[in-house]
């Protein structure tokens, strides 16, 4: 069965049926599968097909199949988890306000990994989320420049140690009688077994 043709006096001009469906359904980038343009509802104004085609040719589509740049980062996962834990006590909007974000959506963007956590917001966000600022700072450093930045900061300022890690160190010192024990293969193995490794 032949596809219907679109007449010249229609709102789409002289474009054919295939041209219209291609412009409405995809951005024209077969590799991305972007679904940027959708069929308009009857109540919506007509879509400018020529603009849609020029956007497609210029490559201005957004590839919806790609994750956000920081979505897999420990900072994004930690913030998302902590916000979920705090949900019964305070809203994400309250936390964003307490942390001093001018735009409350910024916290959503950090949580989803769309943007990285600014280092200057770590202390206030850690306070708002009631978490260790050193841990959050370490995660934010990873986002800022990966392992190289983290290593450079630790070389200059020393290893960033969290409150929980300080507790472990104090327990090791107490258990060893403050003798500064060497980490042997046996003690390393025993420690890793505690964590199921």
pLDDT in tens, 144-177: 877 777 778 778 877 778 888 888 888 888 888 8
pLDDT band at 34 (very low <50, low <70, confident <90, very high): very low
Q: Does pLDDT of 142 surpass 60?
A: yes
Extents of the domains making up the chain: 1-66, 74-160, 161-197
Return the percentage of the chain with pLDDT > 70, whole number: 66
pLDDT band at 18 (very low <50, low <70, confident <90, very high): low
Q: Does pLDDT of 30 surpass 70?
A: no
Q: Does pLDDT of 55 surpass 70?
A: no
Q: Is-contact 53 26, C-beta < 8 A?
A: no
DSSP label at residue 35: -
Q: What is the mean pLDDT of residues 81-91?
A: 93
Does the pTM surpass 0.75? The reply is no
Q: Considering the chain, what is the average pLDDT of its residues?
A: 74
Q: Distance between CA 90 and CA 75 in Å, rounded?
A: 20
b (16+ CB within 10 A) / e for 156-174: eeeebebeeeeeeeeeeee
Q: Distance between CA 193 and CA 170 in Å, rounded?
A: 20
Range with lowest mean pLDDT among 29-33, 97-101, 152-156? 29-33
pLDDT band at 65 (very low <50, low <70, confident <90, very high): low
Q: Distance between CA 81 and CA 16 in Å, rounded?
A: 50
81 vs 52: which has the higher pLDDT: 81
Q: Is-contact 44 54, C-beta < 8 A?
A: no
Q: Distance between CA 34 and CA 8 in Å, rounded?
A: 29
**pLDDT for position 104:** 79
DSSP label at residue 47: P
Q: What is the mean pLDDT of residues 125-140?
A: 91
Q: Quick one: residue 137, left, alpha or beta (phi over 0 = left, psi -120 to 50 = alpha)?
A: alpha
**CB under 8 Å, gap of 24 or more: what pairs does 153-161 form?**
160/134, 161/134
The architecture that CATH gives domain 74-160 is: Orthogonal Bundle (1.10)
């Amino acid at each position: 069965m032949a596809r219907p043709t679109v007449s010249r006096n229609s709102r789409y001009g002289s474009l054919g049926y295939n041209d219209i469906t291609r412009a409405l359904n995809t951005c024209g980038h077969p590799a991305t599968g972007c679904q940027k343009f959708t069929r308009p509802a009857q109540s919506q104004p007509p879509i400018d097909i020529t603009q849609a085609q020029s956007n497609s040719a210029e490559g201005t589509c957004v590839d919806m199949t790609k994750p956000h740049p920081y979505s897999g980062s420990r900072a994004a996962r930690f913030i998302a988890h902590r916000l979920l834990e705090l949900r019964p006590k305070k809203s994400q909007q309250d936390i964003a306000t307490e942390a001093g974000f001018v735009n409350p959506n910024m916290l959503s963007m950090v949580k989803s990994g769309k943007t990285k956590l600014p280092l200057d917001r770590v202390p206030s966000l850690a306070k708002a989320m009631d978490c260790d600022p050193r841990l959050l700072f370490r995660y934010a450093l990873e986002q800022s420049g990966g392992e190289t930045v983290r290593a450079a900061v630790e070389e200059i300022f020393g290893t960033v140690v969290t409150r929980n890690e300080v507790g472990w160190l104090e327990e090791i010192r107490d258990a060893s009688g403050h003798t500064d024990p060497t980490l042997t293969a046996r003690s390393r193995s025993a420690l890793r077994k505690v964590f199921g490794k």
